[in-house]
Structure 1
Amino acid sequence: MILHTAIGDAYGLGWEFADGPSAQHAANDLSAFRVNPRYPEYPAGRYTDDTLRTLANSAVVLGSPSGWYDPAAYAAAYQRIHALDGRKGWSRGFQAHLDAHRESSPLQFMLALRRRATNGAVMGVAPLGFLPNEDIVRMAATAQCVSTHSGAAASSAQTVALAAHYLIYDKGPIDQLADYLEQEVDWASEDECNRTLCKRWSPVPVPAMPAWTIAAGAVFIVASTTFTGMADRLQFAIKRGGDTDSLGAVTMALCSCAKAIPDDLPSSLTDHIEDEDGRAMLRSVDLQLRAFAGL
């Protein structure tokens, strides 16, 4: 999961909110990572906040069970990973907050945030799917969400975490994922459920800042039977435009959990995400999560 999250994140970054000829005509053929024309200073093949948050959330999963339900444990994990890896891959506002609160307590860190129901609430939430059961996953996803974001995004965080849980523990066929989520997520309303699961004529949204658009897009792409493997799913995520790195990261995280989805990503991506040490670290966390789940 962690390696594939990083690949989807770094590949999607090349098109994130980019427009103009250089973005429109860039070949989305998985032949290489590319530099986003909006962020020419950011190297191709480097992951961003989606993967950083995934790694931080993984550390909480692998830590004390009391931390699974504690928003402060997630906030502390974000502070720790920023101290260990100071790359400028976070959103500008959150980057500034991390820099300003290096020495703050987790409580101070959380109290100083202005919470919104934006995409950060679902960034990196997939590792919570390794937790033992749906009740725990729901509670952990909500705690993770409110550590930095509005509780209004809790259903989106639960959607991604429970989708991962369903796929990791092979709870049913992939084409029944939406039915499972309809029953298991704490929806605020029927309309919220319909739009997130693209039911009852709700269109698949372009991935944008609202958290639900990332959850909706990832679940649709993963569960759709019109795709063959990971490769065409990643390409479709990029074609959607908008917040392509978050959609790419969450989509690849969920795909990696699905036995029915073959990993047909080319070596041009799998062999060039980060450097050799970076890839080894990502794979190591993957192994730890699988051992935690007894897989």
Structure 2
Amino acid sequence: MLVELAIGDAYGAGFEYADPDYVTRHNTLAGYVRNPRHPRLAPGHYTDDTQLTLALAELLVSGEPWTRETVAEAFVTAFHRDPREGYARGFHAFLGTVRTGEEFLARIRPDSDKSGAAMRTAPLGLLPTPADVLHHTDVQARVTHDTPDGVAAARAAALAVHYCDRGLGPVASVGAWVADRLGSPVWARPWRGPVGPKGVASTRAALTALAAGGTLSGVLRACVAFTGDVDTVATIALAAASRSAEVVPDLPPVLVAGLENGAYGRDHLAAVDARLP
């Protein structure tokens, strides 16, 4: 799952908020592309979506207590050991000035309803029960996105992974199942059009692409075709799709081989993935 979601993140990063004509021309899965709006981000390199997902995955397999303090510490550690592009400018600057989880919590303003809590929650969907999933998701979400929509988007993204991993129904019904679990019909409504920065938008778009099923490559292309914040959409959708027995795992070898493989790249992601529940 971690490798697949990182591929979604890295591929989608080449198209994040790019001109729709550029997306139409280059969304072919023939390889990673450099985003014309963010030229400093190297093709094949993942962004904050994967880095913070990896932070939570490593915390989950470490056996450490799952608390606001340990979550914040995981975020700080992941950022400082491997500084990278892709973070929102303000949050990137913030992370650069904090050195401990305690300092993070003392200074953060957790009032965002954007997609940060949803994009990183996928590993928690592998926990045994929906109650486990929701507890762990809520703790991590409220560290930075302690708003109704910020938490709800994270819950929906994690539950989508749980639904696919446990084979709780046909992938086409994932949105309806999430809507029922969370008591809100919004998650069953298909998304159309460009995706903005809000967590609800990214997660709804991801559920829409996921519900179409078929193949991982088809899900990835569908995520990017929305335009807008598509790296987050692809991260959320590919995490869940990679756990579904219905979705054919056919990501092009060029995307697998082209994913960065430094100290925290493809091999490290696979190693942590093997230790997840």
TM-score calculated relative to the size of structure 1: 0.87
Task: Find the partner of 1:220 among 184, 208, 228.
Answer: 208
Q: How many residues align?
A: 274
The residue identity in structure 1 corresponding to 2:44 is: G
CA contact (8 A) 1:142 1:151 kept: no
Deviation at 1:78, TM superposition (A): 0.4
The residue identity in structure 2 corresponding to 1:139 is: H
Partner residue in 1 for 2:178: 181
- Inter-partner Cα distance in structure 2 for 1:51 and 1:178: 23
CA offsets, 1:96-139, max 9 Å, x none? 1110112x4x2431232222110101111110011121111111
- Inter-partner Cα distance in structure 2 for 1:175 and 1:45: 30
CA offsets, 1:62-89, max 9 Å, x none? 133631xx22221111001012111233
Deviation at 1:169, TM superposition (A): 1.9
Deviation at 1:144, TM superposition (A): 1.0
Task: Find the partner of 1:118 among 102, 114, 119.
Answer: 114
Deviation at 1:276, TM superposition (A): 6.8
The residue identity in structure 2 corresponding to 1:195 is: V
CA contact (8 A) 1:204 1:216 kept: no
> Alignment partner of 2:194: what SS?
coil
Say if 1:284 and 1:204 are closer, same or farther in 2 by CA, change over 3 A.
Answer: same
Partner residue in 1 for 2:52: 53
> Alignment partner of 1:62: what SS?
helix
Partner residue in 2 for 1:19: 19
Partner residue in 2 for 1:253: 239
Please, which moves more after superposition, 269-278 or 208-217?
269-278
> Mind listing any 5+ residue stretches in structure 1 that lack a counterpart?
188-192
Task: Find the partner of 1:195 among 186, 202, 209.
Answer: 186
> Alignment partner of 1:72: what SS?
helix
Partner residue in 2 for 1:77: 74
The residue identity in structure 2 corresponding to 1:172 is: G
- Inter-partner Cα distance in structure 1 for 2:172 and 2:116: 27
Please, which moves more after superposition, 83-92 or 137-146?
83-92
- Inter-partner Cα distance in structure 1 for 2:59 and 2:200: 23
- Inter-partner Cα distance in structure 2 for 1:59 and 1:24: 33
CA contact (8 A) 1:196 1:213 kept: no
Deviation at 1:147, TM superposition (A): 0.7
- Inter-partner Cα distance in structure 2 for 1:20 and 1:220: 19
- Inter-partner Cα distance in structure 2 for 1:90 and 1:276: 19
Partner residue in 2 for 1:109: 104
> Mind listing any 5+ residue stretches in structure 2 that lack a counterpart?
none
Partner residue in 1 for 2:197: 209
Deviation at 1:269, TM superposition (A): 0.4
- Inter-partner Cα distance in structure 2 for 1:265 and 1:137: 27
Task: Find the partner of 1:93 among 90, 93, 104.
Answer: 90
| Matching of residues 232-247 of structure 1 within 5 Å | 232-247=218-233
Deviation at 1:161, TM superposition (A): 0.7
Deviation at 1:176, TM superposition (A): 2.9
Deviation at 1:162, TM superposition (A): 1.1
TM-score calculated relative to the size of structure 2: 0.92
The residue identity in structure 2 corresponding to 1:124 is: R
- Inter-partner Cα distance in structure 1 for 2:24 and 2:200: 28
- Inter-partner Cα distance in structure 2 for 1:20 and 1:234: 16
The residue identity in structure 2 corresponding to 1:279 is: R
- Inter-partner Cα distance in structure 1 for 2:81 and 2:170: 39
Partner residue in 2 for 1:279: 266
Q: Percent identity?
A: 29
Partner residue in 2 for 1:10: 10
> Alignment partner of 2:269: what SS?
helix
- Inter-partner Cα distance in structure 2 for 1:24 and 1:50: 20
The residue identity in structure 1 corresponding to 2:187 is: T
- Inter-partner Cα distance in structure 1 for 2:168 and 2:70: 29
Say if 1:158 and 1:65 are closer, same or farther in 2 by CA, change over 3 A.
Answer: farther
The residue identity in structure 2 corresponding to 1:100 is: T
